[in-house]
Amino acid sequence: MGFTPKPDLTLYQERRDLCDNGAGRAHWWRDGADVRERWDVVVVGSGPNGLAAAVTLAAAGRSVLVLEGNATPGGGTRTEALTLPGFRHDVCSAVHPLGGGSPAFSRWPLERHGLRWLHHDIPLVHPLDDGRAGVLRHSLDETAAGLGADGDAYRAMMGPLSDNWPKLADAFLGPMLRVPRHPVVLARLGLAGITPATMVSDRYFATPEAGALLAGNAAHSFLPLNRPLTTALALALMAPAHQSGWPIAAGGSAAISAALLGYLHELGGEIRCDTTVRTLGDLPPHDVAIFDTDAAALAAIAGAAIPRRVRRSFAGRRRGPGVFKVDWALDGPVPWTNPDAHLASTVHLGGTAAEIAAAEAEVVRGRNPARPFVLAAQPATVDPTRAPAGKAVLWGYCHVPNGSTEDRTDAIEAQIERFAPGFRDLILARAVRSPHDLAADNPNHPGGDITGGSLAGLGLIARPRLTPHPYATGNPGIWLCSASTPPGAGVHGMCGWNAAQAVLAGTPA
């Protein structure tokens, strides 16, 4: 679509300048005269939340060092040539419903550091077997018009949320257990959202398109769709589609981390990769350490340095289901039956609301459904940097029981083939990642759980434990900022931003 990539927007592997790996200096701070003696802040982990915390504190004048265990920075925002030369795949995040309008990202000059959000014509299409589809468009009115008999119901439910999304984002993307700044607006989300998604799709909507659209978004929670609050999670994804959109990052989601890192460097912060922190003794001298790690991992690293009750609740956090991911290099665009699907960033594949609810319930029971709910993203349709001319990449995953060892490639491809006959004939190569592979790649994904801990029970509001100070650990020198804290998973940087604000405010530990 006329997009010319900036020449300096390259993949992380090519950006060693951003990450001083300190070859042969695993304990670099102990042996070099070129390193500073003490840091105000050390951040462990360079995912979007770690980098957001680092940027916030560096901007507040603190000296900041980020330590990353992986060879490349970025955590969930990396882009790599996973299949064939010339094909660039997002390793984790691909589409960013909460990233484009993130209150944290929006306040920083990330564009100057190479981040450019690209929008598809349509954020999301959810095709059904008869060729019809639930279509989530940028325009609320056009979305409602496309939902026929459910148009008025959709407008009544979504209109107030969409209109008030900036205020809602402030409430929804902060710590949940606090006095809300916009109680009336939040109550709207609460009232509509507390109802289980199955009930809304069955009783509130009449058409299968509207029901499926809601159910597919609710399934991002990894919860059975008959649980309270699953509708709230769906609405919190759908409302920004009508405001800031569901953008992808030009060049790949690695551009998000590259921009955060570029800004961090401008502010004087530094990063070292290939540096896994296993104990607090691995840290250079510092005043405050902020962990972009899984809560249970922090409990193990910090040991007796944090109070026993906190350690136990971190270590005992329930895991969410896992994911099984496939990336494809394709000989051309996916041959969707539904014409709108060609224009969408994301395509939800799983049929009706009832079918999706059944598949997700199976996963939570510890079984792999025959026909899983599949989330697919097609960045190459608006970003020519992702694949050679005329070719395409496709990104997709389904939910599986935590730690599942079953190969889901066939089941995922069958779901795509169901809505895009001929898809398999286009496959040039594929890269498959099991839950085990995901955990090996990033310790924040134990058993393939990409949610930072289950949202079941109080998991949505009591992250990582029941406390008004979710980023604190009981030790004023140790803080948590990963997706294990509010508002949870997704690329928005708000866990890191909130944690850094708590550090700056000196919130009681």
Ligand X SMILES: Cc1cc2nc3c(=O)[nH]c(=O)nc-3n(C[C@H](O)[C@H](O)[C@H](O)COP(=O)(O)OP(=O)(O)OC[C@H]3O[C@@H](n4cnc5c(N)ncnc54)[C@H](O)[C@@H]3O)c2cc1C
| Selected range binding ligand X among 62-70, 104-112, 164-172, 385-393, rule: CB under 6 A | 62-70
CB of residue 380 to ligand X, shortest distance in Å: 15
CB of residue 282 to ligand X, shortest distance in Å: 8
CB of residue 130 to ligand X, shortest distance in Å: 28
- 45 counts as binding ligand X under rule CB under 6 A: yes
Give the total of residues touching ligand X (CB under 6 A). Answer: 41
Q: Is residue 63 a contact partner of residue 90, using CB atoms and an 8 Å limit?
A: no
3-state SS class at 125: strand
Structure-token pair, residue 459: 């998991």
Alpha carbon distance 67, 257 (integer Å): 14
Closer residue to ligand X in complex, CB, 118/200: 118
- The one-letter amino acid at 241: A
Q: Name, in order, each residue with C-beta under 8 angstroms of 205's C-beta and a sequence gap of 6 or more.
A: 147, 150, 153, 154, 211, 214
Beta strand pairing call for 89-90 and 79-80: antiparallel
CB of residue 481 to ligand X, shortest distance in Å: 7
- 277 counts as binding ligand X under rule CB under 6 A: yes
- The one-letter amino acid at 112: R
- 408 counts as binding ligand X under rule CB under 6 A: no
- 76 counts as binding ligand X under rule CB under 6 A: yes
Residue 179 φ then ψ, to 5°: -75, 120
Question: Quick one: which of 95, 239, 264, 364 contacts ligand X (CB under 6 A)?
Answer: 95
- 442 counts as binding ligand X under rule CB under 6 A: yes
Closer residue to ligand X in complex, CB, 50/252: 50
| Selected range binding ligand X among 12-20, 27-35, 94-102, 169-177, rule: CB under 6 A | 94-102
- 46 counts as binding ligand X under rule CB under 6 A: yes
Closer residue to ligand X in complex, CB, 98/210: 98
CA-angle at 124, arms to 437 and 388, nearest 5°: 60
Query: Of 212-251, which residues contact ligand X (CB under 6 A)?
Result: none
Closer residue to ligand X in complex, CB, 92/236: 92
CB of residue 322 to ligand X, shortest distance in Å: 10
Alpha carbon distance 459, 117 (integer Å): 31
Closer residue to ligand X in complex, CB, 67/363: 67
Taking residues 312 to 331 in sequence order and writing x for each that binds ligand X by CB under 6 A, - otherwise, the string is -----------x-x------
Q: List the beta bridge partners of residue 136.
A: 124
Among 439, 449, 481, 443, smallest CA distance to 49 is for 481
Alpha carbon distance 295, 318 (integer Å): 11
Query: Of 280-309, which residues contact ligand X (CB under 6 A)?
Result: 292-293, 297
The DSSP line for 242-255 is: TTT---EETT-THH
Alpha carbon distance 29, 275 (integer Å): 11
CB of residue 265 to ligand X, shortest distance in Å: 17
Q: What's the first-to-final CA gap in the chain, in angstroms?
A: 50
Q: Name, in order, each residue with C-beta under 8 angstroms of 428's C-beta and a sequence gap of 6 or more.
A: 83, 84, 328, 329, 330, 331, 391
Closer residue to ligand X in complex, CB, 159/443: 443
State the residues that interact with ligand X by CB under 6 A: 44-50, 67-70, 75-77, 92-96, 98-99, 276-277, 292-293, 297, 323, 325, 397, 438, 442-445, 450, 482-483, 489-491, 495
